[in-house]
Amino acid sequence: METVFILLVVVLVILAVSDLVVGVSNDAVNFLNSAIGSKAAPFWIIMAVASLGVVFGATFSSGMMEVARKGIFHPEMFSFHNIMIIFLAVMLTDIILLDTFNTLGLPTSTTVSIVFELLGAAVSVAVLKVIHSGEGLNTLGEYINSGKALVIIAGILLSVVVAFSVGTFVQYIVRLVFSFNYEKTYKYWGALWGGIAITAITYFILIKGAKGASFMTDDTKHWIQSNTLVIITVSFTFWTIALKLLQIFTKVNILKMIILVGTFALAMAFAGNDLVNFIGVPLAGLKAYQAWSSGQEMAVLAQKVHTPTLYLLIAGLIMIITLWLSKKARSVTQTSIDLSKQDVGHERFESSPFSRFIVRQSIKLSNALKYITPEPLQKSVSKRFEVPRKENDNDASFDLIRASVNLVVASILISFATSLKLPLSTTYVTFMVAMGTSLADGAWGRESAVYRVNGVITVITGWFFTAFIAFSVAFLVALTIYYIGFIMVPIYLILSVFVLIKSKSVHKQRTEEEDDIFTGNNTKEEINIMEACSINVTKTINQVSEIYGKAVKLIATEDRVGLKKLNKKVEKINERAKALKDGIEATIHELQEDSIETGHYYVQVLDYLREIAHDIAFIVRPAYQHFDNQHSGFNEKQVEELNKLKDLLQDLLDEILDIINNNHFDDIEKALEYQQNILTAINKFRKNQIKRIKDSNASTKNSLLYLGILNETKNMVLHIVNLLKSQRDFIIYQNS
């Protein structure tokens, strides 16, 4: 039996490494968001600063997570066998849960996850123990510390409301002081703001980041707590004077300095405090095994235990490697950045009835406030919030002022909550502060508000589902292990590996699709607008050729499953076409004044690309719905006509591609001949179908689908040739 338990401890250690990887992928958003979003420094510098913070935090953290041993359940009420069931259920659930959220690109709280997994597994085992012992369920309170879960839930609500409100208020005041043209006001107020910011971050490091440092004695920690006001005053005075001197005698950007220091502080706090969310349970399992093998009771888990520094250092190195290599960490970070970016463009989330209701009511409230606010004051405030047209834009999602506010406010709130022993989640605070500051900055304008609000609601809803899912899954995993035995552990391990591999594949596919969708917004950086037009045109024509050919084949064979897959592909093409159109404004702003005519042709090309995407969608989607509803398929004559149409369309598309790729626009008449052949064939096939209807050789649904395909093919052919003409005019103008 001892061999089995040794193997189980080894499994816990392996799970700890896996949990570190998925945990860092989720929590990286906490300390990378502001620096990456504001482009405060090159990416490698931001990552290096964050890595340094992680190393310091991991090394300084010497305390093991109390909640893993005694915060949720009373260990003395359980046997070692029970404890191992609970810990294994927690770790297996945690890896799958966090990896799922990372795959979806949604930030969640590792603290909430681990707490409710512990609660679910412990309740499961406790209920079974109570039933088997014949005790009543009223004795469950002797096993479970249910008050802890209620405190965590209260912490979720508190952190969401407080962080969002404070972030909004502080950003509004700071923006009033600095405005968006902060280069002018920066020289007057920059040192003062820097003094406040770095003082807040310094205090945050002392209170939150280094509270578990092994080199810091209890007397030192007590002195820091007792002399908080002195530390703040001295730090503020020193930094304000030092930064003012730097401002006068050097060209150091104080705001970038604040952001990098803040990034280090939050990374340090994450590693020093949230690290135990990933390794606390496995190390508690190791401690339980040591106690069991030496004949001790599980009450030993309730004692204070320090984690060896070597374990923490290894964990820190694993986190750093993950930070640099994890693509999922960047997906989670990108979600937060997209929801807070200043510019309007393609939105990651759609709107919802609830988000539209909130925005509608907010607009009404805003209009009501205008009636009671003096007009001069309105104009003065509006001027401070005018976003200037960017010159030499580095594609930052928001400016350095907002990034510094994000870090300062998050640092202050987390430090304050820590000093009061309030269970605020680092993830919740940093995310909601970023959302509050973006609202105050006007980033949630009429053009984007409904999408941003729905995105935030989606993330917050995910937080509450985290608690419910974590509890439920851990409960069921513990239940099956308890009844069936530890033979379930390798089965669950295989399931976990399968989920991780599958989620990696899903994430890769999702990332590739998003990269393809967002390419339209970035083409102006990498290539000139003429090349962008040519790439988008040729790509669309190739996709139309492929999809139309597949659609005809699938319709002929009545392949419902194949049409369903093809319909999803068409939806992605539509989404990309929409993203290209959404990025028109940003592209036009990037054009030089003498390129106005070029912009006109670019817009025209995008219009036709969008119409073509619609046309192909109106062919594939009705076909899928037709066969999904089990309606009758096409007869041989209809299939023969569609194949003839497919061949004619292929001839046209091949000719157009040849003209565009070789710039043979003198041959456009040949393309027009191909177009006319298709239109003639469509008219003929339409008459044939009408004859079949009169002869009662076609059903109503069959006729509607067939005539619809002919009509959309006609529209698509007209749009494709118009696209070619626009491309021709565009190229001729560029070369003139």
pLDDT tens figures, 400-422: 888 888 888 887 887 777 666 56
Listed range (223-227, 258-262, 549-553) with the worst mean pLDDT: 223-227
- Separation between Cα atoms, residue 188 and residue 302, nearest integer Å: 55
pLDDT at 647 over 60: yes
Share of the chain above pLDDT 70, in %: 78
Q: Cite the residue boundaries of each domain of the chain with CATH code 1.20.58.220.
A: 527-735
Classify residue 134 by its DSSP letter. Answer: T
pLDDT of residue 452: 83
User: Which one, of 168, 189, 162, lies nearest residue 177 by Cα?
Assistant: 189
C-alpha distances in angstroms, 111 versus 115, 336, 511, 606, 705? Answer: 6, 19, 27, 46, 54
CA 449 distance to own-chain centroid: 17
Each residue's pLDDT tens digit, 131-143: 887 776 777 777 7
User: Which range is least confidently modeled, 29-38, 515-524, 647-656?
Assistant: 515-524
- The stretch 635-641 carries a mean pLDDT of 89
Higher pLDDT, 528 or 196: 196
CB-CB neighbours of 304 under 10 Å: 8
pLDDT given at position 524: 41
**Cβ(63)–Cβ(211) under 8 Å?**
no
What pTM was computed for the model? 0.72
Q: What is the dihedral of CA 544, 547, 549, 554, to 10 degrees?
A: -160
Q: Is 260 exposed, middle or buried (0-12, 13-18, 19+ CB in 10 A)?
A: buried
Q: Are 671 and 652 in contact (CB under 8 A)?
A: yes
Q: What distance in Å separates the CA atoms of residue 505 and residue 511, rounded to the nearest whole number? A: 10
More confident residue, 130 or 21: 130
Element (H, E) at 385: none
630's torsion region: left (phi>0), alpha (psi -120 to 50) or beta?
A: left
- Helix (H) or strand (E) run with residue 300 in it: none
Topology of 527-735 in CATH?
A: Methane Monooxygenase Hydroxylase; Chain G, domain 1 (1.20.58)
Residue 521, pLDDT above cutoff 50: no
**Greatest mean pLDDT among 94-98, 162-166, 589-593, 694-698:** 162-166
